[in-house]
Amino acid sequence: MKEYEIDFRKGLADSLPIVAGFIPACFTFGIVGTSLGLSGMAVFLLSAWVFAGASQFIAVKLLAAGSSAPVLLLITLIVNLRYLFIGVSFAGKLKQGLSLPAKLGIGFTLTEEVYAVAMARASAIQGNEGKQADVKKKLPPAYLAGLQFPPYAANLLATGAGISLAGYVPSMYLPALNTSLYALLIALVVPQILRKPTHLGTCLSAAGSSWLLHPYLGDLTVLAAMSIGMIAGMFFRSGRLQTGEEYI
């Protein structure tokens, strides 16, 4: 079997937990969108074009409320600013020389869950190579294709199912279905946080700042906490590199 086939299959295998978490959440999105009075096609296109979790739910609620396009775009942009931080970190794991369509595809289908799994895989690649490995070891494009396409396909299929079955699912079950993504993200991130002290320190810095700043910043707390966590991570990384310890 060729190397790219092995990488692709590994990506498919790693995508299964993400798919399992996406199905109930996207199914809920399809139901919520249609229950707010939007057409099935509008809900499906939002799911296909936005593909950003919370932004999709915000968008359907704003559309149903009759919000103008500038307001919708501005709020969606603010909510999605978190992907700026994720994208900057993730870009360092991509191989050089990728075509523009490949970069656009990878960027469009990048979610928090995909990011967590891919970064864990990058850490495993470097760990398998030993401490003398090239720290710039990149994620194989075939692996990313296998990892990122199934969740997007599951998003479309589950949204379509939610649209079709919206009239048959009691609304009391929707909150439980929508918690699947939170549970999935916690399950993916916690092992990585506990694996290295620097990861734990970065997480605690972000969580602590979020708790302290929320009364003052409101909805902007997430972005502020991410910035503080990123700065703390850079500080911890600098300390680890000075002592010669490995860091990813």
Q: Helix-strand-coil percent breakdown of the chain, rounded to 5? A: 80, 0, 20
pLDDT by position in tens, the chain (length 248): 788 899 999 999 999 999 999 999 899 999 989 988 899 999 999 999 989 887 888 888 888 888 888 888 887 887 788 888 888 889 888 988 899 999 999 999 999 899 989 988 988 876 665 444 444 568 999 999 999 999 999 999 999 999 999 888 887 777 767 676 677 767 777 776 766 667 777 778 888 888 888 887 876 777 788 788 778 777 766 655 444 454 44
185 contact partners, CB below 8 Å, separation of at least 6 = 21, 112, 113, 116
Closest by CA position to 168, among listed 7, 30, 16: 30
Query: What 8-state DSSP symbol labels residue 133?
Result: S
Number of helices (H), then strands (E), belonging to the chain: the values are 12, 0
Q: pTM of the prediction?
A: 0.76
What's the rounded Cα separation, in Å, for the pair 95 and 99?
10
Closest by CA position to 36, among listed 71, 68, 62, 74: 62
